[in-house]
Structure 1
């Protein structure tokens, strides 16, 4: 039996579209029922559970007469709008058999990178768990754009696990674990445990499945596992059919042991859940100030900027050698940067007013990469 599983008091479980839906794109009642039974048993053992569930777009395909996941963003959003209600309704009915209440939580990148939104997301999930509700989390595909989205729910699940201080992340898919080669390869061997990420060097993994309803694959699951274990959260990767066994602590799938320590949550999201809206170039002195002293980025260390960013957007901070040093939430629009370049805070306050004496990127809104 696996102690990291048995000792976990709060678990985040992620399930993919292909594990919830039929080949035609509709919700598979038997699969959802089996998953909920596994979650219900975990709750009976006293474990708090947060479910990160894909499947909204997939669930909306059949009602809209679509045969596969559309590529156009507007069509994906339409399918998500139809499918999300169907999916949560099914979960609500199934959880009721176990005396459990479902709570829907839809997130966008803004909800967890901008300070005020992040605090709201944290408070909502915390209150739901306090009230005994089983939160069902998904990306808000109905409104998310291609520029502001997590990209896949595997990564979202890893970040949610960190957000709610989970003791374990369970990633469920249509594959029963990580193999040292694609599972269809003759002689491929399932890897039972990973104690260091360096053990994955040379492992060849596959892409998203052929069903055409999901966006992930083993690559995204390994990325999610890496985020979680480096933040101190162990991970079990297995198939949805093995969910009950995995949550009971049986040696199914692949167990990734935690390798790091807990990090500041919002900065973890900033590093892993955002795409930069542009870049700010900085001089060598600013690089040292950021990396060695944990300082904020001041205008004196800025040498230029590119992109179409606005105040509050994530930007990459790039050193004189072209290497990305950090990512942070910038305090100015891109067209304001030229008048700030290389100038001291005192000089900017005297010439432009007190509002321009603030940091370009505050250290509380910055993460080294």
Structure 2
């Protein structure tokens, strides 16, 4: 019996498109019903549950006469617009059988990266859970742009787990766990426990399922697991068909043990949920100051900048060898960087004014990668 699972008081469950829909793309009512029964049972045991559900785009395919997930963004958003209502309606009906109220929460990357947004998201989740509602979370695919390929909600689920202070993240897929080789290979063995992700070096992982209705795969699930366990949240990866056994603490799927401590939410999201707007290059001394002394990035250690970014945007901090060493919220516009390069704060203040003596990236606004 897995104590980390049975003792969890707040659980985030993520389910993928292929676990909810038919091969043709429509919602499979039996699959949804079975999943809801499992979630309701977990609630009866005293756990609070948040569901991160893919499937909006997939659910919209059949009603629109589409045979597979479209590649064009506008078509994906049209399918999401049709499918999201169908998906939540189905969940609402199924949860009502157990006397549970469903609440829809649609998120974009901004909601988990901008400080004011994620504070509001946290307050919303807290109130929903306080009222006994089961939140159903999905990315806001209808209006998302590049975020629509956020990792089939796997990474979003890990970030939501951190946001709501979850004790456990459960990733449900069409594969019953992580294997040491492709599951179809002769002799492939399920990996029951992962104590540290370094143990997985050399393990072959698969891509998107054959059904073609999802965007994720084992790569995105491992990335989600890494985000969660490094933030102190254990993860169970298993098939949707095994969800009941997994939440009961049985030895099914793969359990990723927590390896780190809870991090500041903003820094976790800065590392894992932001797309850099550009980059700032550093000399070797600045790299050492950041990585070894936990210092802020000063203009004296900057050698250049690339991209179009504005003060407050996330940027990658790149060493002289081209390796990204950190990501941070830059304090200057890209056009201002050239006049700062290599200069001391005292010199900049004297030449350009007191405002230019500030750090290029403050240590409280950066995270090492």
> Could you tell me which residue of structure 2 aligns to residue 173 of structure 1?
173
Q: Is the 8 A contact 2:278 2:306 kept in 1?
A: yes
**Deviations, residues 334-354 of structure 1 (Å, cap 9, x unaligned):** 122112222333443444444
User: Matches of 1:343 and 1:247 in 2, distance apart?
Assistant: 57
Structure 2: distance between partners of 1:19 and 1:123: 30
Secondary structure of 2:124 counterpart:
helix
Instruction: Measure how far apart 1:300 and its partner are.
Output: 2.6
User: Structure 1 327/219 Cα, relative in aligned 2: closer, same or farther at 3 Å?
Assistant: same
Per-residue displacement from partner, 1:292-319 (whole Å, max 9, x unpaired)?
2322222232221001222222111012
Matched, 1:36 2:11: no
- 2:271 corresponds in structure 1 to 271
The answer on 1:152 being equivalent to 2:160 is no
What is the correspondence of 1:75-154 to structure 2 with a 5 Å cutoff? 75-146=75-146, 150-154=150-154
* 1:288 correspondence with 2:291: no
Question: 2 CA distance for matches of 1:136 and 1:68?
Answer: 24
Q: Does residue 1:306 correspond to 2:306, yes or no? A: yes
Q: Could you state the TM-score of these two structures normalised by the residue count of structure 2?
A: 0.95
Residue 361 (structure 1) shift: 1.6
C-alpha separation between the residues in 2 aligned to 1:298 and 1:35?
52
CA distance in structure 2 between the aligned counterparts of 1:173 and 1:107, rounded to whole angstroms: 21
2:222 is the counterpart of 1:246: no
The aligned counterpart of 1:343 is 343
Question: Whole-Å Cα distance in 1 between the matches of residues 323 and 209 of structure 2?
Answer: 35
Indicate conservation of the 8 Å contact 2:109/2:147, yes or no. Answer: no
List per-residue Cα deviations over 1:60-92 (Å, max 9, x = no partner): 111211111111112111111111111111111
Deviation at 1:147, TM superposition (A): 6.2
| Kept in 2: contact 1:304–1:338 (CA 8 A) | yes
Q: Would the alpha carbon gap of residues 63 and 354 (structure 1) be closer, same or farther in structure 2, given more than 3 Å must change?
A: farther
Please name the residue that 1:48 is paired with. 48
Shift in Å, 1:21: 0.7
| 1:305 aligned counterpart, secondary structure | strand
Secondary structure of 2:184 counterpart: coil
Secondary structure of 2:41's partner? helix
Task: Please state how far the C-alpha of 1:356 moved relative to its aligned partner.
Answer: 3.4
Match of 1:62 in 2: 62
Superposition deviation, residue 4 in structure 1: 0.9
Residues in 1 aligned to 2:5 and 2:192: alpha-carbon distance in whole angstroms: 14
Q: How many angstroms apart in 1 are the aligned matches of 2:97 and 2:274?
A: 38
Q: Measure the CA separation in 1 of the matches of 2:183 and 2:7.
A: 30
- Residue in 1 that maps onto 2:361: 361
How does the TM-score come out when normalised to structure 1? Answer: 0.95
Unaligned runs of 5+ in 2: none
Alignment size in residue pairs: 369
C-alpha distance in 2, partners of 1:96/1:349? 64
Q: What is the correspondence of 1:217-228 to structure 2 with a 5 Å cutoff?
A: 217-228=217-228
- Cα pair 1:139 1:153 within 8 Å, conserved: yes
